Structure 1
Amino acid sequence: MKIVIFGGTGFVGLNLAEVLLARGHEVTLHDRSPLPPAAQRSLADYRERLKVVQGDITDAQGIDALMAQGCDAIVLGAAVTAGDDLERASPARVLEINVMAQIPILLAAIRHGVRRVINLSSASAYGAAGQRHRILDEETPCDPVSFYAISKFTSERSVARHAELFGGDFLSVRLSAVFGPWERPGSVRDTPSLQFQILAAFARGEPALLPAPGIKDWTYAPDVAEAVALLIEAERPRDRLYNISSGVAWSALQWGEAFAALHPGLECRLVSPGEKTVIKLHGGDRAPLSVRRMADEFGWRARRRAPCSGRS
């Protein structure tokens, strides 16, 4: 298949590109940022099936021209992943990129006969409902609160409505607490995972001091990419919304402790009274996402479902 990933040189985009290229697909990465040098080296063996297009997600003409070249599927992965600081600084930008910029892409996909569209949404769409339920499935009523959560929930509804109006084969996935390879903060992403922050502290030669254990259904990015690839390749998915998660809540503190135990001299622990730490939690505790829909239809479950010392 010919697949275009918008936001393709970002965190999840690069993980998905690796998986799709390994499965034999042709991949175009559309992003404002160039392909990082490390990714250029890592993906060098796939250069004949990999294309990088630098462009802005709001450039409707440029995107239409790209769609006109022909593709079988697109992934809407370009987003402002915003915490409170970024929301205060540019709330309009969050909504512009995460919702409004998708509409010209969806219309171009319809015009040019794109077979499958996957919208990468977020578990944040559940919002305050995450504190009222023990587990969150795709039928749980959402109660988004932050501008980011509102934007992701709205993107899902927009994608679904376009599909209803124009008959497109469009669906959304809610990704939960993703960490792993290719993660990096930037101007449109100010919510790095605790795992990323732990490793950054180690790289600075400092102990990783966590303000709390950080219990979430942390999900390894390559597992996320495998699930999205299955949905891209599926002949006819039964639903328009799927949760992608490890399905199990576990502690980032335990992960950091396990990593430190394998590397003498490293320390990961909770911050003591009176100590300061630059490590931040982004979002409070939330119930884990149910992945029964993905498991029942595709036999998919995350391969890494607990703290491990693997590549991160």
Structure 2
Amino acid sequence: MSTREKAVFLTGAAGYIGSRVLAALAARGDRVIATDVARPRTDLPDGVAFYTADVRDLVRHAPAVARCGSIVHCGGISGPMLLADNPAELIDINMRGTTQLLSLAAAHGMRRVVTLSSVSAYGDTPEGMETVDESAPLRASTVYGTSKAASDLVVETYHRLFKLSAVALRIGWVYGPGRVTDAIIQPIVRSAQGEAYAMASGASHRLQFVHIDDVVAAVLAAHDAPSLGQAAYNINGRDTVRVGRIFDLVAGQVPGVTATVGPGPMEGVETHGVMSIAAAARDLGWTPAIAFEEGLRTYVDWLRHNRY
């Protein structure tokens, strides 16, 4: 059996991105062996085998990986707001989990490994650098960003030294239906339902959101690409938007919004230049399909009837 005919090994299958990647793989007929520390909240699609395990559980993962031809690694800690009080555990989950999967993939001669990284690996964009491509230095300013930057370097090492076709996708601010952790948009909408929300500063801070559907499409594109031109790609939306503009757009759509934002940049949040997505378009054939203001409009409509 060729590696292309084998199953896809998917970690983080119960998470925000992973659950949607799972659905997308199953919908197109791929066989999937999926894992996470908890079962997905919805029923598993037909043709999906699932088991519960920590991403670092090498003993449990090794037999499953041996039956697969590729890995999509969505597992691990997904943002700086998680495990902030336990940095050693955060680094161990993200780095050791990634490294062990890369080792298994190399041992089995896998066709492709796709890992999910973050633009947090770059840290604050240096002064004078208006556009950030994948050659920019990794200068993470948080423990989470450091874990992603270090994991990306491990991916690059396996790509270069062991000829493993592995790639890290550096993803920006993901938004869309189903995101449980708050990312500015949700609490603005909830303020119309009587939940107070105020940001002391941030109106001028520029963010580059990417819709969950575009992220899933990028993961599939990276998994399917015949070859990879480099070991990391920025995956982001086309548009940058000031936080104050987001407040105004939501308030214009939802009557009764009471949320407020003060002037200046967001405190404790990295300042990024525009993330270039040219390499992903060139090598993976991927470009985001959803413009931010349209995606925001449909997402806000969703949030008016759903908690997240």
Matched, 1:169 2:174: no
Between the aligned partners of 1:305 and 1:243, the Cα distance in structure 2 is 17
1:71 aligned residue (68, 71, 85):
68
Structure 1 length normalisation: TM-score?
A: 0.83
Matched, 1:59 2:45: no
Amino acid at match of 2:50: V
Matched, 1:196 2:186: yes
Q: What SS class does the counterpart of residue 273 from structure 2 fall into?
A: coil
Shift of 1:126: 0.8
Shift of 1:152: 0.6
Matched, 1:110 2:99: no
The answer as to whether partners of 2:168 and 2:231 remain within 8 angstroms in 1 is yes
Between the aligned partners of 1:103 and 1:236, the Cα distance in structure 2 is 21
> How many correspondences in the alignment?
289
Between the aligned partners of 1:298 and 1:182, the Cα distance in structure 2 is 26
Shift of 1:106: 1.6
Distance change >3 Å, CA 21–CA 131, structure 1 → 2: farther
Distance change >3 Å, CA 9–CA 132, structure 1 → 2: farther
For residues 47-196 of structure 1, the aligned pairs below 5 Å read: 47-68=45-66, 70-83=67-80, 86-87=83-84, 89-129=85-125, 131-185=127-181, 192-196=182-186
The answer as to whether partners of 2:237 and 2:291 remain within 8 angstroms in 1 is yes
Between the aligned partners of 1:288 and 1:53, the Cα distance in structure 2 is 39
Shift of 1:84: 6.7
Cα deviations by residue, 1:61-118 (Å, 9 ceiling, x for unpaired): 00102112x122212222223437843x111011101112222222222223321101
Matched, 1:289 2:275: yes
1:261 aligned residue (246, 249, 252):
252
Q: What SS class does the counterpart of residue 48 from structure 1 fall into?
A: coil
2:19 aligned residue (14, 30, 42):
14
Distance change >3 Å, CA 197–CA 103, structure 1 → 2: same
Distance change >3 Å, CA 255–CA 209, structure 1 → 2: same
Cα deviations by residue, 1:116-155 (Å, 9 ceiling, x for unpaired): 1011111011113355521100111222222211111110
The answer as to whether partners of 2:17 and 2:216 remain within 8 angstroms in 1 is yes
Between the aligned partners of 2:189 and 2:50, the Cα distance in structure 1 is 29
Aligned to 1:30: 35
Matched, 1:5 2:10: yes
Amino acid at match of 1:55: A
1:310 aligned residue (290, 298, 301):
298
1:229 aligned residue (197, 213, 220):
220
Q: What SS class does the counterpart of residue 20 from structure 1 fall into?
A: helix
Distance change >3 Å, CA 224–CA 148, structure 1 → 2: same
What stretches of structure 1 of length at least 5 have no aligned partner? 186-191, 273-279
What stretches of structure 2 of length at least 5 have no aligned partner? 303-308
Shift of 1:200: 4.6
1:220 aligned residue (193, 211, 223):
211
Cα deviations by residue, 1:151-193 (Å, 9 ceiling, x for unpaired): 11110111121233322111111001112232123xxxxxx32
The answer as to whether partners of 1:254 and 1:307 remain within 8 angstroms in 2 is no
Bigger shift: residues 52-61 or 257-266: 257-266
Aligned to 2:195: 206
Q: What SS class does the counterpart of residue 142 from structure 1 fall into?
A: coil
The answer as to whether partners of 1:217 and 1:246 remain within 8 angstroms in 2 is yes
Q: What SS class does the counterpart of residue 169 from structure 2 fall into?
A: strand
Shift of 1:281: 6.3
The answer as to whether partners of 1:19 and 1:222 remain within 8 angstroms in 2 is no
Between the aligned partners of 2:250 and 2:184, the Cα distance in structure 1 is 13
Aligned to 1:270: 261
Amino acid at match of 1:90: N
The answer as to whether partners of 1:11 and 1:181 remain within 8 angstroms in 2 is no
Between the aligned partners of 2:117 and 2:61, the Cα distance in structure 1 is 20
The answer as to whether partners of 2:123 and 2:270 remain within 8 angstroms in 1 is no
Shift of 1:236: 1.1
Bigger shift: residues 124-133 or 53-62: 124-133
